[in-house]
Amino acid sequence: MLEFQNVTFSYPGDIGPIMKDFSFSVNRGSFVSIIGTSGCGKSTIFRLINGLEKPQSGTIAVNGKPIGELQHYSSFMPQKDLLFPWYDVKQNVCLPMQLAGVPKSDQDARCREVLTNAGLADYEHKIPRELSGGMRQRVSFARTLLAGADMLLLDEPFSALDYLTKIEMQEWLLKQWEHYHKTIIFITHDVEEAIFLSEKVYVIRNLPFSSMEEVRVPLNYPRHRDNLGKPEIVALREKLLQSLRKENSL
């Protein structure tokens, strides 16, 4: 679904590129995570996918077409929920459909469905300050879904949540992925989170990078929290942690 081909990119003023001749692809319907130390270029990949930055060379394509020729091919969910505090839940969730000119009757039907699946059907007239952190993130994800794209870019969406809420949201997110069959690319600093959620974990090791290490997670779906205690998963977690520690010390 997504393909980077020989992409080179640097920010103005940088001594050298962040990525050089970088190639990477994601299959339709996959759930993959990208991990790496702070400043390694994880969020830059998202900015390039969204067209917020332009590569110096190479191409980025979705479904075989350059992203410059496409619209509404990806939706982005940041670390903060960015809900409008003066809008209620329904208004926040319907906003991307409103901007896209979706008829009001269709907005209502789609909003009702996604809020029901998110466990928020009884909260549609609440405003953000009346919701918990986890509930606000559910609203943010519902809004991301209703932007209409098949590819969702989630940038550390649970990093600000307390531990128990975070693991509840991880389990909830997997259920939503299995229900809606979207392609999800997930950025995180949390190795355990990446392993629990993903089919594959991609590791950025150094700068500039031309590829990422691909690590397959040896777990089937649906997943359960006790899967993380399996010897092979514990070993995988330690391997990834050691790798990140090594990169962080360079």
- Which of these, 75, 2, 64, 53, lies nearest to 32 by C-alpha position? 2
Residue 250, pLDDT score: 52
Residue 247, pLDDT score: 60
Residue 246, pLDDT score: 67
Residue 75, pLDDT score: 92
pLDDT tens digits, 131-155? 999 999 999 999 998 888 899 999 9
pLDDT tens digits, 170-214? 999 999 999 989 999 999 989 999 999 999 999 998 888 999 999
Do residues 215 and 33 lie in contact, with contact meaning Cβ atoms separated by under 8 Å?
A: no
Handedness of CA 71, 74, 75, 79 (dihedral sign): negative
Could you tell me the pTM of the whole model?
Answer: 0.91
Alpha carbon distance, N-terminus to C-terminus of the chain? 34
Question: Could you give phi then psi for residue 124, rounded to 5 degrees?
Answer: -65, -25
Domain ranges of the chain: 2-73+149-249, 82-148
Q: Please, what CATH class does the domain formed by 2-73+149-249 belong to?
A: alpha beta
Reading the chain (250 residues) residue by residue, the pLDDT tens digits are 999 999 999 998 888 899 999 999 999 999 999 998 888 889 999 999 999 999 999 999 999 999 999 888 999 998 888 899 999 999 999 998 988 888 988 999 999 998 998 889 999 999 999 999 999 999 999 999 888 889 999 999 998 888 898 999 999 999 999 998 999 999 998 999 999 999 999 999 888 899 999 999 999 999 999 999 999 999 999 999 988 876 665 5
Residue 81, pLDDT score: 87
Which residues 6+ apart lie within 8 Å of 212 measured at CB? 24, 34, 202, 203, 204, 205
Strand order in the sheet with 151-155: 74-77, 151-155, 183-187, 31-35, 200-203, 213-216
CB atoms within 10 A of CB 150: 17
Residue 25, pLDDT score: 96
